[in-house]
Structure 1
Amino acid sequence: MQQRPDWITSDVDLEKPSAARCYDFYLGGAHNFAADRELGRKVLEVVPNVKEVAQNNRAFLRRAVRYCIEQGVTQFLDIGSGIPTAGNVHEIAQEADPQARVLYVDNESVAVAHSRTILEGDENARVVQADLEDVDRVLQSPEAAELLDFDKPIGVMMVALVHFVPDSADPGSVIRRYYEALAPGSFLGFSHVTGDHYPEGVETLVNLYKNSTNPVTLRDRDRVAELISDFELVEPGVVYVPEWHPDSDEDVPEEPEKSIVYGAMGRKA
C-alpha cells in the first residue's frame, strides 16, 4: 500500500490502474501511481512502441483542433480529456484565437483535479467530472451553459476514449445523442484502438487492461466508421492516426498501422 498524496480524493483507488494515468505514464507525465506504472511496463512488453502510439494519438488531437479552427470553429468539447499535458486543446485553440472556449470532460478524479489547477485564471476553459455516457450531465452542466453556444458549431473531441466503452453501453447511440445536440457545421474528432493489423499483441494489451478501471474493447475499421456514421467523414476518412492530415509527408511512418489507432474527423452537415 502506498501513501495517499494529500491532493488525491478518497474515491481514487491507488491500487487499481486507470487508463488516464497509464496514458500519462506513456506520455512521460508525473501524475501516475505504482499500479499504473506496473501495468504500463507490462504493456510495453507486448506493445513496445506504446509510448509512440500515445504520442501519435496526441499529435492527431492537436491536428484535429487546428483543423476545426481553420474551419472557423472556436468552441470545443473535449470528452475523455485525460490528465493535462503539453498541447492541451485550450492551448492549441487559444494560440490561434485567444477567445476560443473549451470544456473538458473526464471521469477520472486525478485528471479533473489537475485540469482545475491548470485552468485557474482561464475564463474560457472549464472541466466537468462525468462519463461519456452521462450526456445530460455534460450538456446541461453549468459549465456548458457558461462556455458553449449549441446554436453555433462546436468541435467535439473523443480521442482515445470510446475503446473504453463496451458494446453493452451502445456507444453508437451515445455518440448520436451528442450529434443531435450539435449545430450544423460542428465537427467530431475521433480515435480508437484496433487490432486489425496486429491482433495478437493488441489482444494481449486488452487482456492486461481487463483488471484496470477501464477495460478495452477493440473494434475494426468498419465498426469505427459505423460508430460515427451520423457525421460526414472529412477526407481521407478513417485512417491510422499518423495518416490523418499529417503536418508533412515525413511524419507518416512506413508502417502507419503500427500506430494501432484509427483516427477520423466527422462533420455535421
Structure 2
Amino acid sequence: MKQYLNILKEILKENNNKEDRTKVGTISKFGVQQRYDLRKGFPLLTTKKVYFKAILVELLWFIRGNTNIKYLVDNNVNIWNEWPYQNFTKSKDYKNETLAEFVEKIKNDVSFAKKYGDLGPVYGKQWRDFNGVDQFKKLIENLKKDPNSRRHIVSAWNPNEVDKMLLPPCHTLFQLYVAEDKYLDLQMYQRSADMFLGAPFNIASYSLLLILIAREVNLIPRYFIHTIGDAHIYKNHIEQVKCQIQRKPYKLSNIEITSNKNIFEIDHEDIILKNYKHHSKIVAPIAV
C-alpha cells in the first residue's frame, strides 16, 4: 500500500488549498493514478484498521442493484446513513430525531425505510438499470463472449438522473481488460476521492469487484488501476493523515471465497478476509 501512502505525502507536500461543497476545506491534487497488483495480496490498508465487512456488504448491495440503506444497516454497515438522514431532517415528519434514532427506525419500520432510506438512483440502480440497460449483466456476458473488446465498461454517472441522487457518484466509471487470455485488469475512474476516509474503501472495493468478476469469467485477477480526478484531504483530517504516514505497512491480506454461487447470488458470509494484520483505527469526521 505504499502507492496510497505516497499520494498522501504528495498532497500534503503540495498543499494546494481548495474550497469545497462541504465548507470544511481541502488540500487537493488533480489527476493521480495508482496501480495495485492483486497477485501480491489484497490491497486492504494496513496502516489503520479498515472495516472490511462494510466494503463487502456495500459492494454486494451495488451488484444487486439496491439503493436503500436498509440492507446496509440490517447488516450493521452505516457508511451511507448521513445522507438520507440529512434529507429526512428537511421533511415534515422530522421530530428532532438523532441519527441513531433515524437508523433504528430504518431497521424496525419497513414503511419508514422505504420512504426515507432510499438514496435515489445511485450506483446499484445505474449498474443494473441505466435507462433500462443492465450494464453489469451485459459486462459479464461480453467478457465471456468477446474478451478482447475495448467496450467492457460500466458507468454510474447518468446525467438524466444525477440530480435525483442524494450523493452523485464519486467512482463514476470502470473498465475491464483481458490480458494474455488469462489475466483480468480493472481500471476505475473516480471524479472525487476523500483520500483519508473514502479512498481505502474504494481501493479494496474495486479490487474485490475484480476478484469476483475474474472468478465469474474464469480469469486471474491482476491489476486494479485507480485513476482519480480530485484527490483531496479534508483539512480536519490532516493530523490523522500525518499520523498514518508515519506507520510502516504490514504484509497484505488475502481473500478466500468458500461458495460456488455466481456473482449475482453470492453472500457476504461466502467471502472471507484472511491474514489481515493492521495498525490501530484512526478516527476522523465525515464531511457531508
Asked which structure has the greater RCO (Cα within 8 Å, sep 6+), the reply is 2
Q: Which has the larger radius of gyration?
A: 2
The answer, yes or no, to whether TM exceeds 0.5 is: no
Give the TM-score of the pair, scaled to structure 1.
0.30
